[in-house]
Amino acid sequence: MSTANPDRWSWFWCVSLVRKKKFFSSCDLISRLWCCNITSDGCIHLSTLLQQNSSLTHLDLGLNHIGIIGLKFLECVCFTYRLWGCAITPFCCAELSSALRSNQNLITLDLGQNSLGSSGVNMLCDALKLQSCPLQTLRLKIDESDARIQKLLREMKESNPQLTIESDHRDPKDNRPSSHDFIF
């Protein structure tokens, strides 16, 4: 008997959820993707499944090391992405910035516990300064002693006044969506 790797298990698990869509709402699917050992390889399969579920409005991939490939999810039509602790680095922010420019539905983005640094925040800032960006809430791991990051955050707020930027000092479990937060 061989042992399957975590990506293979996450693929099997996600297929099972989608095939049982009569029994699982999108809320169930989302709550089950938090901390599921999904990596960038698993995201390739998961992306295919998510494209089949057009009713999905919120996606929580927190504590999965999805990396740059996982950011392709932002091309799906969701209103909320929770990518808390997903190993997103400054290098990934170019892809993330591109996704922010193309996703006209995204209202909430949680990037807490990802070390974006000033270069990553700068790339996000370029996308968020656009008037066409609908994002209303952005959650970041912020080094409040870094003057460059503070300046970038002020610039984002000035050019995008409807944007709320939250610092990542809370446990994300305290901020998990409940079933009444979802639109079916």
Domains of the chain: 6-170 (3.80.10.10)
Q: Report how far residue 46's alpha carbon sits from residue 153's, in angstroms, rounded to the nearest whole number.
A: 32
Question: pLDDT tens, position by position, for the chain (184 residues)?
Answer: 445 555 555 555 555 555 544 444 545 555 468 888 888 877 877 777 777 766 777 888 899 988 887 787 666 778 888 999 998 999 999 988 988 888 888 999 999 999 999 999 999 998 998 888 899 999 999 888 889 999 999 999 899 899 999 987 655 555 554 434 443 3
pTM: 0.78
Q: Report how far residue 105's alpha carbon sits from residue 97's, in angstroms, rounded to the nearest whole number.
A: 14
